[in-house]
Copies of this chain bind each other. A is one copy, B any other.
Amino acid sequence: MTKSIEDCLESIYMISLEKRSIRVKELSDKLKVTKPSIVSALKELKNENLISQEKYGYIELTEDGLKEAKEILKKHNMIKEFLIDILEVSEDSADKDACQMEHFLSSETLSKIEEFTKKNRGH
């Protein structure tokens, strides 16, 4: 799965935590890309059976999609927590940077970040 498609799945899940219906427009606003860009990401997510959507209808996560999205968000939040709690980065920058880092950081660095945060949070 590519970065843009993963971002889209992640956003679908994040929105789904607050409201039942998810629309192209909301994703387009959240991710700050145009609606056609969202539509093409959705097409791929449908191909991979991670979401379902009737034409012109609402977007829903499948069971697989939900599982995948949870993992992505978990990683995102882990990095964000590190940036905010350890490095004292502002929430905005932390969110933006975590959104990039989540896509390529080595598993080694990822686990070192997690470990470091556990040990040093609150110091």
Name the CB-closest residue of B to A100: B104
Query: Which A103-123 residues have a C-beta within 8 angstroms of B?
Result: 104-106, 108-109, 112-113, 116
Chain B residues near A33 (CB-CB < 8 A)? none
Q: Name the segment of A9-17, A21-29, A61-69, A85-93 touching the other chain.
A: A85-93
Chain B residues near A105 (CB-CB < 8 A)? 97, 100
Instruction: State the A residues within 8 Å of B (CB).
Output: 83, 86-90, 93-94, 96-97, 100-101, 104-106, 108-109, 112-113, 116
4 new A-B contacts, CB < 8 A, other than A86-B116, A87-B112, A100-B104, are: A83-B112, A87-B116, A93-B106, A100-B105
